[in-house]
Amino acid sequence: MGARTILHVDLDAFFAAVEQRDRPELKGRPVIVGGSDPTQRGVVSAASYEARAFGVHSAMPLRTAYRLCPHGVYLPVDGRKYQAASREVMAILRRFTDQVQPISIDEAFLDVTGSRALFGDGEAIGRSIRAAVREEVGLTASVGVATTKLVAKIGSDLRKPDALVVVPPGDEAVFLAPLPISRLWGVGEKTAAALREFG
CA atoms within 13 A on the CB side of 56: 34
C-alpha 70/C-alpha 73 separation (Å) is: 9
C-alpha 161/C-alpha 50 separation (Å) is: 12
Q: Cis ω on the peptide bond leading into residue 24 (within 30° of 0)?
A: no
CB atoms within 10 A of CB 35: 20
Which of 11, 86, 90 has its CA nearest to residue 49? 11
Residues with a known catalytic role: 107
C-alpha 75/C-alpha 57 separation (Å) is: 14
- 100, 110 Cβ separation under 8 angstroms: yes
- The letter for the amino acid at 187 is V
